[in-house]
Amino acid sequence: MPTKKAKKKTVVELSRSSYTPYALTEGEEYMSNPQLEHFKAILLHWRQQLMEEVDSTLQLMQDEIYNLPDAADRATQEEEFSLELRTRDRERKLIRKINQALERIQKNDYGFCDSCGIEIGIRRLEARPTATLCIDCKTIEEIKEKQWGT
């Protein structure tokens, strides 16, 4: 029997402890330079975590598959891996979104709703730094997705 199992931990969700909530100074403008720097740091840190995890899991999976002499064990293991690979796929998509968010920071286009143009809000962005829609537009989008099943 294999003794070590593929790790189940993921960092698809951004951990709350990885940043300090931004403290606004009085009269500070939305998406001022310090705010953009703040989000850039969060996004870079998150991307780093995700990339490390993708690497380490792939390595672990390769090691494990070679260490299973029994074909049945290997089949079970491969099933587990396909689940794992789907998680990796989500992570890669997330890395792409993080890159897009970083580009928007660079272009000074970060923090505003793609659909209606209003401010997404600092607290919402801290919870979801890759958000491109304000909460209202996001809700509408989700309702549409449910209706059309896309």
CB neighbour list of residue 60: distance below 8 Å, 6 or more residues apart: 4, 6, 7
Q: Which is nearer to Zn ion, 14 or 134 (CB)?
A: 134
**Smallest separation, CB 116 to Zn ion (Å):** 3
Chain residues binding Zn ion by CB under 5 A are 113, 115-116, 134, 137
Q: Quick one: which of 57, 56, 38, 36 has its CA closest to 103?
A: 36
Nearer to Zn ion, 12 or 118 (CB): 118
Q: What is the closest distance, in whole angstroms, from the C-beta atom of residue 43 to Zn ion in the complex?
A: 21
Residues 131, 138 contacting (CB under 8 angstroms): yes
Of the pair 75, 116, the CB lying nearest Zn ion is at: 116
Q: How far is the CB of 126 from Zn ion (least distance, A)?
A: 18
**Cα distance between residue 118 and residue 140, in whole Å:** 15
C-beta closer to Zn ion: residue 92 or 144: 144
Write down the least CB distance from residue 99 to Zn ion, Å. 22
CB 134 within 8 A of CB 116: yes
